[in-house]
Amino acid sequence: MIIVLKPGASKKEIKHIEDKIRALGLKPMLSSGKERTIIGVIGEEDIARVQPFEAFPGVESVMPIQKPYKFVSKEFHKEPSIIKVAPGVEVGGEKVIVMAGPCTVENKERLFKIANIVKKSGAKVLRGGAFKPRTSPYSFQGLRDKGMKFLYDAKKAAGIPIVTEIMDPRDLPLFLKYADIIQVGARNMQNFELLKELGKTRKPILLKRGMANTIKDFLLSAEYIFSEGNHNVILCERGIRTFEDSTRFTLDISAVPVIKKLSHLPVVIDPSHCSGIWDYVAPLSKAAVAVGADGLIIEVHDDPEQALCDGPQALKPSKFDALMTELKLIAKAVGRSI
């Protein structure tokens, strides 16, 4: 349920409404937008209905939310959400944010090198996994704690915020200390306990779509994070499983306009994991910007042949640089900039 407040509703009136919601065993969630301030009611809709909130001072109207996801829906928040990542870096605004870097942190020198390369080409966030979700237990699992420290050092040295993947809520203190954006990988999109823990923080979360999940499932996972109070969620479409086997996954490009219609959250595209092949990364990135994505997350490696993970999909620095130049033109054509 959404309680829409009158433009001049006082603090006392708002508090009175919030207290009543709590007294019903439900949770109020205040959202102040440009046009209106609203209180979302978290919990069973039927319980909320016993109270005639329409009659409360300061209330303009009361609306049930029809969608199964509530606080990530456009009904709750009409304007697009802008997620602040670091000073001067926000996702969901006019600027298309490119995040780039290796699949995994391999060693300090290489990470520093790639951080400087991608930053010079215009990336605003450095990506790199320290904890890797590998299909085989015998594949490289990541440098773990040491990798997190290297990412933090690279961030300080190159002056670029970092995004890195969490798999286990027990590692949360490490991520809160070092990461600017915490990534939830496709394989953990429905790890609800992890989502709830991340919801208790206020860190920006990059939530990747599970490879076998619908957009509705995806938005419900974002709702888990929201329902615990963290509104800093960035969605990432990274390809879904289809019968098509010429690419690693199939990029669901329609996810961008569909999500934009249903939700106020920003959407970025991962052209690397959906295709699995470096040669397709540039055309898919261009399509992503053209279709209205708020950002990209791209794998870049200075020597893909030697990469410990996902070498075949990594862009070499020169190719990444050329792509950034092309993306600027496309961004301009759709009223954005990079």
- Give the Cα separation of 211 and 192 in Å (integer): 16
Residue 318 tokens read as 């020169």
Binding part of the chain for ligand PEP, among 181-189, 213-221, 225-233, 319-327 by CB under 6 A, reads 181-189
Cα atoms in the Cβ-side hemisphere of radius 13 Å centred on 33:
19
The one of ligand PEP, Mn ion, none whose footprint includes residue 186, by CB under 5 to 8 A per kind, is ligand PEP
Q: Check binding of 103 to Mn ion (CB under 5 A).
A: yes
Q: Which is nearer to ligand PEP, 77 or 273 (CB)?
A: 273
Alpha-carbon dihedral sign for residues 195, 224, 299, 180: negative
In the complex, minimum distance from the CB of residue 239 to ligand PEP, in angstroms, rounded to a whole number: 7
Other C-beta atoms closer than 10 Å to the C-beta of 207 total 25
Site string for Mn ion, 31-70 (x = CB under 5 A): ----------------------------------------
Place of tokens 């109020």: 28
Contacts of ligand PEP in 139-178 (CB under 6 A): 165
Q: Check binding of 208 to ligand PEP (CB under 6 A).
A: yes
In the complex, minimum distance from the CB of residue 16 to ligand PEP, in angstroms, rounded to a whole number: 45
Are residues 243 and 268 in contact, defined by beta-carbon separation less than 8 angstroms?
no
Binding part of the chain for ligand PEP, among 1-9, 37-45, 78-86, 182-190 by CB under 6 A, reads 182-190
| 3-class state of residue 195 by DSSP | helix
Q: Check binding of 185 to ligand PEP (CB under 6 A).
A: yes
Please report the beta strands in the chain, taking only residues with DSSP state E, as ranges in sequence order: 2-5, 27-32, 37-42, 59-63, 83-86, 89-91, 97-101, 125-127, 162-166, 181-184, 205-208, 233-237, 267-269, 295-299
Binding part of the chain for Mn ion, among 113-121, 227-235, 241-249, 302-310 by CB under 5 A, reads 302-310
Rg, the chain, Cα only = 21
Residue 118 tokens read as 């991608």
Q: Check binding of 273 to ligand PEP (CB under 6 A).
A: yes
Q: Which residue is nearest to Mn ion (CB)?
A: 103
Q: Check binding of 248 to ligand PEP (CB under 6 A).
A: no
Binding part of the chain for ligand PEP, among 82-90, 135-143, 147-155, 180-188 by CB under 6 A, reads 180-188
Binding part of the chain for Mn ion, among 21-29, 141-149, 207-215, 308-316 by CB under 5 A, reads 308-316
Please tell me what DSSP assigns to residue 53: G
Q: Which is nearer to ligand PEP, 59 or 100 (CB)?
A: 100
For residue 54, the cross-strand partners are: none
Contacts of ligand PEP in 277-316 (CB under 6 A): none
At position 1, the amino acid (one-letter code) is M
Place of tokens 């209205």: 292
In the complex, minimum distance from the CB of residue 131 to ligand PEP, in angstroms, rounded to a whole number: 10
Please tell me what DSSP assigns to residue 40: E
In the complex, minimum distance from the CB of residue 189 to Mn ion, in angstroms, rounded to a whole number: 16
Q: Which is nearer to Mn ion, 181 or 262 (CB)?
A: 181
Please report the beta strands in 125-193, taking only residues with DSSP state E, as ranges in sequence order: 125-127, 162-166, 181-184
In the complex, minimum distance from the CB of residue 15 to Mn ion, in angstroms, rounded to a whole number: 48
Q: Total binding residues for ligand PEP by CB under 6 A?
A: 11
Q: What share of the chain is helix, strand, coil (3-state, %, to 5)?
A: 40, 20, 40
**Residue numbers of the site for ligand PEP (CB under 6 A)?**
103, 129, 133, 165, 185-187, 208, 238, 270, 273
Binding site for Mn ion (CB under 5 A): 103, 310
